[in-house]
Chains A and B, each alone.
Chain A
Amino acid sequence: MLAKRIIPCLDIKNGRTVKGVNFVDLRDAGDPVALAQYYADSGADELVFLDISATEERRKTLAKLVYHVAEKVNIPFTVGGGISSIEDVDILLHNGADKVSINSSAIRNPNLIDDLVAKFGSQCIVVAIDAKIINDHWKVHLMGGKVATELDLFDWSKEAEERGAGEILFTSMDHDGTKDGFANEALARLSATLNIPIIASGGAGKVQDFIDTFKEGKADAALAASVFHFKEIAIADLKKILKQNGIAVRL
């Protein structure tokens, strides 16, 4: 049986992990490779690296990081942040990334999804969507949530699927940072509308939130950052409890 996935997300700036990582037992928690290895050994099913650097050097630095992660880590990982061309994706996949996620660039140029799928295949193209409720409608946002668009979450994710996206990574901006659970109603609707896997993101605070997002939100995977980085939830314990609740996980 296909297991539900637990995915820690690492924010990367200039080749280093940033913000809120509190690992006493790691010599260098700012080292993305060490942190990735730690998570792989703790039972994470997959990793997401989100690059938030804004320097000229970013592409080169990120490619080097991807290479070193692939060298050491024996679970799959996705790289996102600022990816806007076939060339960007080519460099990352060649250095060992398994998947890439695109967000703002796909909204600005939806054909990018088709182009990437044609060249690299659906299986490695994740479309990430940030959205929040405005006047009772889930509106898609650009630039990490800074700029609102007129796009509807459900329309846009359907279009991404039709253009060949292999997965949707949906972050609810309304839930992100609240630690009060995932956007399960919207997630369940996405799962019912689409026939590709959905990764839930935004709102993880306690173990019950993960149980709920898999059961009520019908999510295929759940992504979180701070609850793992600050060791509020240990992945091994989380998976044990998920299993006790009848959710298929890899132990």
Chain B
Amino acid sequence: MCRNKYFAAFQVIRQWIHKMKIVIINYGAGNIQSIKFAVERLGYSAVLSDDANEIKTADRVIFPGVGEASSAMKKLRNTGLDLLIPKLQQPVLGICLGMQLMCNSSEEGDTHGLGIFDIEVVRFSNKVKVPQIGWNQISDLKTALFKDIPENEYIYMVHSYYAPLCAATIAESDYGLRYSAALGKDNFYGVQFHPEKSSAIGEAILRNFLENKAQ
């Protein structure tokens, strides 16, 4: 019967959802509720956790963060997450401050970072308004994270510090100068923008992270 067929399809989808374990690292830094909602809008569910075992056994790990770099880094050190995150083997996505903390260091609060991306995060010069707040374009898109994403689409950014262009740059943006809108290395991705707040394009990028194999 038709209804049974739908029910069977529903079960398959349900199982797929349950198979995929997504953990959003919860270390008391910022608006993680919005990221959880964005994941749920894509039909997945996500767990908020700071537990090492939960994080280690996830299929996908999202590393969020807003606020100030040195205090966020301190929270990571207090929980031992600073040692755990660089060793993760599954795809990891750092968002905004999360991405910045994955770099060697940040000028903000003279912060020593996780050292995943070999670059120093610096402050925008006062030639532009700081913070940059609003929708900016991303271009020179690389890796599976941006699969089927057209060049020059607008995404939402809020930040005062940025990662300069480097070997790990997988997307660029322009605010007085060209800088890294996203970084990628092995299983690690970082985006300066907020995919959870970047309308349909942000959701497509988040979906790529959840569904595509890292390259």
| A residues lining the B interface (CB < 8 Å) | 1-5, 40, 45-46, 67, 70-72, 74-76, 93-98, 118, 120-124, 166-167, 194-197, 220-221, 250
Contacts and interface: CB of A to CB of B under 8 A. Distances in A.
Contact of A94 (B33, B41, B196): B33
12 contacts: A2-B134, A40-B199, A45-B134, A74-B198, A121-B66, A122-B160, A123-B133, A123-B160, A124-B158, A167-B133, A196-B131, A250-B135
Given A45-B135, A72-B41, 4 more contacts: A70-B37, A120-B30, A166-B133, A221-B134
A3 B134 CA distance: 7
Nearest to B152: A1
Contacts of B133: 123, 166-167, 197, 220
Nearest to B159: A123
B66 A124 contact: yes
Contact of B134 (A5, A71, A195): A5
B98 to A, nearest CB: 13
B89 interface: no
A167 B199 CA distance: 22
Interface of B: 30-31, 33-34, 37-38, 40-41, 66-68, 126, 129-137, 154, 156, 158-160, 174-175, 194, 196-200, 202-203
B33 A98 contact: no
A97 to B, nearest CB: 8
Contacts of A67: 33
A3 B68 contact: no
A86 to B, nearest CB: 13
A221 B133 CA distance: 10
B135 A2 contact: yes
A196 B30 CA distance: 21
Contacts of B137: 1
Given A74-B202, A75-B199, A124-B66, A96 B31 contact: yes
Contacts of A121: 30, 66-68
A45 B204 CA distance: 18
A212 to B, nearest CB: 19
B155 to A, nearest CB: 9
B134 A196 contact: no
A50 to B, nearest CB: 19
Contact of A122 (B34, B131, B194, B198): B131
A70 B33 contact: yes
B37 A123 contact: no
